[in-house]
Amino acid sequence: MSLEMEHSCPECGEATEFYRAASTTVHLGEKTKWRCTECDYGFVLINDEVDSSA
């Protein structure tokens, strides 16, 4: 998985760059925390399927 990705940021109101702030393995798979480079908004992905930003 890359260290950066483009994702929609609800705080900025547009798609921006996010950086991977942390990553760990949990019983559901890989849990990854992402932060917006513009406003520091954060969200969590689990196996690229569960998205806490929605």
Beta-strand relationship, 14-26 and 29-36: antiparallel
Residue 1: pLDDT over 80: no
- Which of 9, 3, 17 minimizes the C-alpha distance to 51? 9
- Give kind and range of the element (H or E) at residue 51: strand 50-51
> Given this model, what pLDDT does residue 21 score?
96
For 4-46, how does the pLDDT look when each residue is reduced to its tens digit (9 = 90+)? 999 999 999 999 999 999 999 988 889 999 999 999 999 999 8
Domains of the chain: 4-51 (2.20.25)
Task: Collect all residues with Cβ–Cβ distance below 8 Å to 42 and sequence separation of at least 6.
Answer: 21, 33, 34, 35, 36
- Give the mean pLDDT of 39-54: 83
Looking at residue 16, its pLDDT comes to 95
This prediction's pTM: 0.83
